[in-house]
């Protein structure tokens, strides 16, 4: 891909578990649960549409190339999803420009997508750049670095263009950048798990959880399709069932406990039932729901995919 752009590599963050107080963990958990419920209650029909495997891989590779904390990548994915849904909704609900209706019915839609196609790589980068500014553990990607990086991957843009793109994304998101981030859920749930169950090796689980989350994110479509079939016990889900299932595919709390449970099964299967029960107790998600997620994910891992991180 591109050459290295930062003068010194960002150091991997050394997490120290079991140091946060009970009251602090309680507040964190309540806040996460509240944000997750708010997000699930305001989903659009297009939620998840811009979490294509290629897009996720592109963002995660860009994050790695820029030596940013993994949290930045997952945050950028959520920002990009939200922005694209809002942006396209705004474009298609505004009055059709005069003269556009003279052509075929799809002419205006085609023109919108053609114009958007040109901006697509820059929009993605703007989401990564904004996410880097929200992270406490990463370098902030300034405009000089942005221009150099984009040029190295074949996009020659000016600093002004980078600024305009960043502002467009900010306005599209109504300056609300604190989107639920699945890795945040994983790490805080691990912290709570370590506090409640001292015998669980959360330090080792933390490392493996990164790989499991990456796998689930990249295999998102096939994993959730299998989970839907398992849930409804029907091999051909209806459009209505798929639409309702969006509240499952966008549930960060379920994803968080599912990732931890998968990592526990792989790393320390003797602790799995204990961890399963504790995760259910912490979140209120049924053990059956967590087990279904784990079984489906493990099935896809065994089918020939790998948890070895991409290079």
Contact predicate 85/39, CB 8 Å: no
List, in order, residues 6 or more apart from 270 with CB less than 8 Å away.
none
- State yes or no: pLDDT of 309 exceeds 90: no
The whole-angstrom separation of Cα 310 and Cα 58 is 11
**Separation CA 307–CA 215 (nearest Å):** 6
Instruction: Kindly tell me if the per-residue pLDDT of 204 is higher than 60.
Output: yes
**Residue 42 has what DSSP assignment?**
T
- Give the global pTM: 0.85
Q: Residue 143 has what pLDDT? A: 87
Could you tell me the two tokens for 115?
A: 């114009």
What pLDDT sits at residue 119?
Answer: 84
Mean pLDDT, residues 71-78 taken together: 94
pLDDT at position 97: 54
- Identify the pLDDT of residue 85: 86
For 146-153, what is the mean pLDDT? Answer: 88
Q: How far apart are CA 291 and CA 262, in angstroms?
A: 9
Q: How far is CA 311 from the centre of its chain?
A: 20
Residue 7 has pLDDT above 50, yes or no: no
∠ Cα 13 15 18 (to 5°): 170
Contact 56, 220 (CB under 8 A): yes
Query: What is the C-alpha separation between 279 and 261, in angstroms, rounded?
Result: 8
The Cα–Cα gap between 245 and 228 comes to 7
Listing DSSP states for 210-247 in one string gives HHHHHHHHHTHHHHHHHHHHHHHT-SS--HHHHHHTHH
64 pLDDT exceeds 60?
A: yes
Q: Output the furthest CA–CA distance in the chain (Å, rounded).
A: 70
What is the mean pLDDT of the segment spanning 220-245? 90
Q: What mean pLDDT is predicted for residues 150-170?
A: 90
Task: Average the pLDDT over 149-175 and give the result.
Answer: 90
Please, which pLDDT band fits residue 9 given cuts at 50, 70 and 90? very low
Tell me what the mean pLDDT of segment 154-161 comes to.
87
Cα-based distances in Å from 180 to 72, 76, 82, 251, 259: 12, 11, 11, 10, 16
Tell me the pLDDT band of 139, cut-offs 50, 70 and 90: confident
Q: How crowded is residue 140: how many other Cβ atoms within 10 Å of its Cβ?
A: 11
What per-residue confidence (pLDDT) applies to 43?
Answer: 79
Q: Point out the least confidently predicted range of 13-27, 56-70, 151-165, 273-287.
A: 13-27
More confident residue, 311 or 175: 175
Confidence at 307, pLDDT banded by 50, 70, 90:
low
Band the pLDDT of 308: cuts 50, 70, 90.
Answer: very low
Task: For residue 168, count CB atoms less than 10 angstroms from its CB and return exposed for 0-12, middle for 13-18, buried for 19 or more.
Answer: middle
How far is the CA of 187 from the CAs of 131, 134, 234, in angstroms? Answer: 18, 17, 34
Q: What's the pLDDT score for residue 218?
A: 95
CB atoms within 10 A of CB 281: 11
- pLDDT tens-digit series, residues 236-283: 888 888 988 999 999 999 999 999 999 999 999 999 999 999 999 999
pLDDT-based confidence at residue 229 (cuts at 50, 70, 90): very high
> Per-residue pLDDT averaged across 27-33, rounded?
91
Report residue 4's pLDDT band, with 50, 70 and 90 as the boundaries. Answer: very low
User: Helices (DSSP H) in the chain: which residue ranges?
Assistant: 22-41, 53-65, 70-93, 107-134, 143-152, 159-172, 182-196, 202-218, 220-232, 239-244, 246-249, 252-267, 272-283, 287-302
DSSP structure string for 147-191: HHHHHHTT----HHHHHHHHHHHHHHTTT------HHHHHHHHHH
The pLDDT-based confidence of 3 (bands split at 50, 70, 90) is very low
Which SS3 state, helix, strand or coil, does residue 297 take?
A: helix
Q: What average pLDDT does the structure give for the chain?
A: 85
């Amino acid at each position: 891909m591109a050459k290295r752009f930062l003068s010194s590599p960002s150091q991997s963050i050394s997490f120290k578990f079991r140091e946060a107080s009970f009251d602090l963990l309680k507040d964190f958990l309540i806040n996460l649960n509240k944000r997750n419920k708010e997000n699930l209650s305001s989903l659009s029909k297009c939620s998840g549409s811009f979490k294509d495997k290629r897009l996720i891989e592109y963002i995660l590779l860009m994050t790695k190339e820029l030596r940013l904390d993994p949290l930045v990548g997952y945050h950028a994915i959520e920002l990009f999803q939200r922005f694209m849904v809002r942006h396209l909704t705004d474009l298609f609900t505004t009055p059709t420009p005069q003269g556009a209706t003279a052509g075929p019915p799809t002419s205006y839609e085609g023109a919108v997508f053609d114009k958007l196609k040109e901006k697509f790589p820059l929009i993605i980068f703007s989401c990564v750049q904004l996410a880097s500014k929200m992270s406490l553990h990463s370098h902030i990607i300034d405009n000089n670095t942005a221009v150099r990086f984009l040029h190295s991957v074949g996009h020659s843009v000016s600093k002004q263009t980078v600024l305009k793109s960043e502002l467009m994304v900010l306005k599209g998101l109504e300056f609300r950048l604190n989107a639920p981030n699945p890795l945040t859920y994983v790490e805080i749930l691990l912290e709570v798990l370590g506090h409640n169950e001292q015998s669980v090796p959360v330090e080792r689980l933390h490392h493996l959880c990164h790989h499991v989350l990456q796998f689930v994110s990249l295999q998102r479509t096939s994993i959730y399709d299998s989970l839907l079939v398992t849930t409804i016990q029907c091999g051909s889900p209806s459009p209505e069932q798929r639409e309702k299932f969006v509240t499952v595919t966008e549930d960060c709390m379920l994803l968080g406990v599912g990732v931890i449970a998968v990592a526990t099964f792989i790393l320390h299967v003797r602790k799995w039932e204990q961890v399963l029960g504790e995760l259910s107790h912490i979140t209120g998600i049924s053990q059956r729901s967590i087990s279904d997620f784990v079984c489906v994910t493990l099935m896809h891992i065994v089918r020939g995919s790998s948890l070895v991180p991409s290079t």
